[in-house]
Chains A and B, each alone.
Chain A
Amino acid sequence: MSAGILVLVEHLKGAMVDITFEMLGVGRKVAAAQGGQVHAVLLGKNVAALAARLGAADSVLLADEPSLEQPSAEVIVLLLQQLMAQKEASLVLLGGTNACFGLGAQLSARMNMPFVNFCKGARVDGGSLVLTSQLFGGKILSDVRLADAKGIVSVYPGAFPAEAGRSDKTPPVEKVTVPPASPKVVFKRYVEPDTSDVDITKQSVLVGVGRGIQSQDNVQLAEELAQSLGGAVCASRPVIDQGWLPLSRQVGKSGMTVKPRLYLAFGISGAPEHWDGMQNSECIISVNTDPKAPIFDGSHYGVVGDAVELIPLLTEKIIARKG
Chain B
Amino acid sequence: MNLIVLLKMVPDTVEELNVASDGKSLDSEYLRFKLNDPDEHALEQALILKERAGGKITVVALDAPEVDDALFTALAKGADRAVKIPVDQASLGTVATARMFAAFLASGGGQITPDTLVLPGSQAIDDLEGEVVAYLGEALGLPYVGVVSSVSPANGKVVVLKEFSGGMRGEFEVTLPAVLGIQSAERPPRYVPVAKVRAVMKSAKIATADIEPPESAKALAVERMYKPEVAGGAQMLDGSPEDIAGKIASLLAERGII
The interface bits of chain B over 147-189 (1 if a CB of A lies within 8 angstroms of the residue's CB, else 0) are: 1000000000001011111111111111100100101100010
Q: Are B255 and A302 in contact (CB under 8 A)?
A: no
Besides A104-B134, A138-B228, A142-B223, 13 more A-B contacts (Cβ < 8 Å) are A12-B164, A98-B163, A101-B162, A102-B133, A133-B128, A136-B17, A185-B178, A188-B170, A188-B172, A256-B165, A310-B244, A316-B245, A322-B258
The interface bits of chain B over 207-246 (1 if a CB of A lies within 8 angstroms of the residue's CB, else 0) are: 0000000000000111111111011011111000110111
Residue B106 at the A interface, CB < 8 A?
Answer: no
Q: List 9 tightest A-B contacts by C-beta distance, closest first.
A: A102-B134, A105-B130, A302-B234, A193-B167, A101-B146, A105-B134, A184-B143, A313-B245, A317-B249
**Chain B residue, CB-CB nearest to A322:** B258
Q: Roughly how many angstroms separate A254 CA and B161 CA in the complex, as a whole number? A: 12
Q: Distance (Å) between the CB of B256 and the closest chain A CB?
A: 9
The residue from B134, B175, B220 contacting A73, defined by CB atoms under 8 A apart: B134
Stretch at the interface among A26-34, A45-53, A292-300: A292-300
Most buried by B among A136, A137, A283: A136
Q: How many A-B residue pairs have CB under 8 A?
A: 261
With A104-B130, A303-B237 in contact, is A140–B227 under 8 Å at CB?
A: yes
Contacts of B258 in A (CB 8 A): 229, 318, 321-322
Main secondary structure of the interface of B (DSSP, over half): mixed
Q: How large is the interface on A (under 10, 10 to 19, 20 to 34, 35 or more residues)?
A: 35 or more
Q: Are B143 and A321 in contact (CB under 8 A)?
A: no
22 contacts between A and B (CB under 8 A): A12-B166, A73-B134, A74-B143, A98-B146, A105-B133, A115-B129, A137-B125, A184-B142, A187-B172, A188-B172, A190-B169, A191-B169, A241-B184, A254-B167, A256-B167, A257-B166, A283-B255, A285-B251, A297-B233, A303-B248, A313-B241, A318-B252
Q: Are A110 and B138 in contact (CB under 8 A)?
A: yes
Q: Are B252 and A302 in contact (CB under 8 A)?
A: no
Main secondary structure of the interface of A (DSSP, over half): mixed
Contacts of B257 in A (CB 8 A): 205, 229, 261-262, 283
Q: Are B227 and A191 in contact (CB under 8 A)?
A: no
Q: Roughly how many angstroms separate A97 CA and B164 CA in the complex, as a whole number? A: 8
Q: Are A136 and B11 in contact (CB under 8 A)?
A: yes
Q: Distance (Å) between the CB of A170 and the closest chain B CB?
A: 28
Q: Are A184 and B164 in contact (CB under 8 A)?
A: no
